[in-house]
C-alpha cells in the first residue's frame, strides 16, 4: 500500500499546490490552488514503477546482494518454507519465478510450504498459480497453537523465542515481503516478518502496545533490532524485499541475507520518505491502487502518516475507493465519543486489530479527519471522521 500526497517531480505538497495531480484509488484528481498555501517537502526524485517486476524478482534471487544465488544453497532433499506477504500486488505472478528458481535446485513443489501471516486474506491468489505448482503446501501461522510453534533460542535480553514450527524446521526459510513504515517495529517487512510476524501469541501481546508516533530513522527500533538478532539465531533466512511503487506497482526488488535488510530500507526511504520544515494546516492524502486488496489497516496507516505533518487541530483529507470491513477495535469507536478514551481502552483490551485502531484514534485525537470511502456517512461519523 502506498500512501501518497500530491506529487510533482521531487516535491510532495501538503495543503494545496498551484498545479498538482493527486492519484487516489484507481483515479486521479487535478488541483489548482494558490501558491501561498503551499508547504513543500524535500525528497529524492521519484523512481518510476518497474516495467517487469517478474523479471526483477528473477534477477534478484539469481544475483542477491553480497550472497550467492539462492539455488546454490539448496539440495533436492531440502524442505523450503516461504513466508508470503499477501498484501503484495500481483503476488502469484511474483511467486512463480521464485518457485521456478527453487526448481532449478531440484526442490519440488511438494517440499515447499507457503506460510501466510494472520489475518490471512483467504489465499484467493493460489488459484492464479500455474498447475505445476499445485502441490505446494499452504499454512496460516497460528500463534495460539503451541503444537505449531517451536523453541528457537534465548536472546541476549533473555527472551525465549518461539516461532512458527514449519519456519524453524525448514532447511531454508525465504521471506517474500513488502517494506513499509510501521508504528510498532519502525520499518516493516524482511526480518520483522519473522519476528514478531511468526512469534507466539504471548509475545505478540507483550509487544503489541509499544507504539511510537515518530517517523523511523536510520537506526533500527528496539523490536527490529531484536528481530535481526533472531534472524541470525535462526541461521540463514533469505529475504526478498519488495519496495512499493505508485498504485499497484513496484519500485524495487532486492534479495539477500540479513545484511540486505538495510539496503531495502534505504530504497524504501529514497522512494517514500519526505521531510518538511513546517507542518501544514491541511494534508490531502490518498490510498492508491486496486481497492480490492486494501483493508481498514491501509486507511489507518494513511491517517497516521498524515498526522505526522499536520498542525495540531488541523485537517486531514483522505481519498480512497475502499469499503473496509471493521474489526473489534472499531466497535469501541462506535460505543464511545472520545478518541483519547478509545486509545486507552484499546491498550487495555488488545483486540487483534489493535494497531489499526490505535493509529486511527491517534489521528482523530490530533486532527479533524475527512474521509472519502465506501463507508456510510452515519458509520463514518461513529469513527470520528466526516
Residues 360/361/363/365 CA torsion (nearest 10 deg): 170
Kindly report, residue by residue over 72-115, the tens digit of the pLDDT. Answer: 999 999 999 999 999 999 999 999 999 999 999 999 999 999 99
Q: What is the pLDDT of residue 123?
A: 86
Beta strand 112-116 with 137-140 is parallel
As a whole number of angstroms, the distance between CA 194 and CA 158 comes to: 18
DSSP conformation class of 249: -
Distance of CA 119 to the CA centre of its chain: 13
Q: Please tell me the pTM assigned to this model.
A: 0.90
Residues 150/152/156/159 CA torsion (nearest 10 deg): 0
As a whole number of angstroms, the distance between CA 2 and CA 354 comes to: 21
- How many CB atoms within 10 Å of residue 253? 23
- How many CB atoms within 10 Å of residue 204? 19
Q: Which residues are within 8 A (CB) of 19 and not within 5 positions of it... i.e. 6 or more apart?
A: 8, 30, 31, 32
As a whole number of angstroms, the distance between CA 2 and CA 245 comes to: 7
DSSP conformation class of 239: E
Cell numbers 518454507 correspond to 81
Cell numbers 493527486 correspond to 22
The Cα-based distances of 289 to 2, 69, 216, 242 in angstroms read: 8, 32, 24, 16
Indicate the SS3 state at residue 190.
coil
Return the closest-CA partner of residue 349 out of 336, 363, 367: 336
For every residue of 104-160, DSSP letters joined together read: TTT--GGGEEEEEPSSP---GGGGGS-GGGTT-EEEE--TT-GGGEEEEEE-TT-PE
Residue 123 zone, left/alpha/beta (φ > 0; ψ -120 to 50; rest): left
Q: Which residues are within 8 A (CB) of 56 and not within 5 positions of it... i.e. 6 or more apart?
A: 50, 250, 252, 253
Q: What are 161's three cell numbers?
A: 523465542
The Cα-based distances of 172 to 105, 113, 239, 304 in angstroms read: 12, 11, 11, 36
- How many CB atoms within 10 Å of residue 216? 20
Q: What is the pLDDT of residue 31?
A: 83
As a whole number of angstroms, the distance between CA 24 and CA 288 comes to: 5
3-state SS track over 6-27: CEECCEEEEECCCCEEEEEECE
As a whole number of angstroms, the distance between CA 140 and CA 174 comes to: 15
As a whole number of angstroms, the distance between CA 134 and CA 79 comes to: 16
Distance of CA 267 to the CA centre of its chain: 15
Residues 15/16/17/20 CA torsion (nearest 10 deg): 120
Where the chain has pLDDT below 70, the residues are 1-18
CA Rg value for the chain: 21
As a whole number of angstroms, the distance between CA 186 and CA 227 comes to: 12
As a whole number of angstroms, the distance between CA 285 and CA 248 comes to: 17
Amino acid at each position: 500500500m502506498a500512501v501518497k500526497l500530491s506529487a510533482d517531480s521531487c516535491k510532495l505538497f501538503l495543503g494545496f499546490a498551484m498545479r498538482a495531480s493527486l492519484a487516489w484509488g484507481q483515479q486521479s484528481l487535478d488541483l489548482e490552488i494558490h501558491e501561498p498555501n503551499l508547504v513543500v517537502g524535500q525528497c529524492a526524485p521519484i523512481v518510476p514503477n518497474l516495467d517487469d517486476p517478474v523479471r526483477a524478482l528473477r534477477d534478484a534471487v539469481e544475483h542477491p546482494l553480497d550472497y550467492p544465488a539462492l539455488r546454490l544453497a539448496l539440495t533436492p532433499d531440502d524442505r523450503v518454507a516461504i513466508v508470503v506477504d499477501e498484501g503484495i500486488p500481483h503476488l502469484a505472478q511474483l511467486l512463480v519465478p521464485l518457485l521456478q528458481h527453487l526448481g532449478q535446485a531440484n526442490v519440488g513443489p511438494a517440499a515447499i510450504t507457503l506460510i501466510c501471516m494472520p489475518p490471512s486474506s483467504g489465499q484467493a491468489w493460489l488459484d492464479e498459480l500455474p498447475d505445476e505448482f499445485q502441490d505446494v503446501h499452504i499454512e496460516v501461522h497460528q500463534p495460539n497453537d503451541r503444537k505449531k510453534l517451536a523453541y528457537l533460542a534465548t536472546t541476549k535480553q533473555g527472551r525465549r523465542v518461539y516461532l512458527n514450527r514449519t519456519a524453524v524446521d525448514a532447511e531454508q526459510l525465504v521471506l517474500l515481503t513488502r517494506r513499509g513504515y510501521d508504528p510498532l517495529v519502525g520499518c516493516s517487512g524482511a526480518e520483522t516478518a519473522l519476528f514478531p510476524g511468526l512469534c507466539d501469541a504471548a509475545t505478540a501481546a507483550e509487544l503489541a502496545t509499544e507504539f511510537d508516533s515518530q517517523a523511523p530513522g536510520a537506526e533500527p527500533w528496539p523490536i527490529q533490532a531484536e528481530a535481526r538478532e533472531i534472524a541470525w539465531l535462526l541461521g540463514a533466512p533469505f529475504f526478498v524485499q519488495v519496495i512499493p511503487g505508485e498504485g499497484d506497482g513496484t519500485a524495487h526488488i532486492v534479495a539477500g541475507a540479513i545484511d540486505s535488510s538495510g539496503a531495502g530500507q534505504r530504497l524504501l526511504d529514497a522512494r517514500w520518505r519526505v521531510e518538511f520544515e513546517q507542518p501544514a494546516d491541511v494534508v490531502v492524502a490518498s490510498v492508491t491502487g486496486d481497492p480490492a486488496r486494501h483493508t481498514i489497516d491501509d486507511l489507518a496507516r494513511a491517517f497516521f502518516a498524515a498526522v505526522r505533518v499536520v498542525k495540531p487541530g488541523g485537517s486531514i483529507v483522505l481519498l480512497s475507493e475502499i469499503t473496509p470491513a471493521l474489526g473489534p477495535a472499531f466497535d469501541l469507536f462506535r460505543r464511545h465519543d472520545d478518541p483519547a478514551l478509545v486509545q486507552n481502552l484499546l491498550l487495555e483490551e488488545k483486540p487483534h486489530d489493535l494497531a489499526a485502531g490505535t493509529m486511527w484514534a491517534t489521528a482523530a485525537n490530533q486532527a479533524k479527519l475527512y474521509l472519502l470511502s465506501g463507508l456510510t456517512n452515519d458509520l463514518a461519523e461513529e469513527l470520528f471522521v466526516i
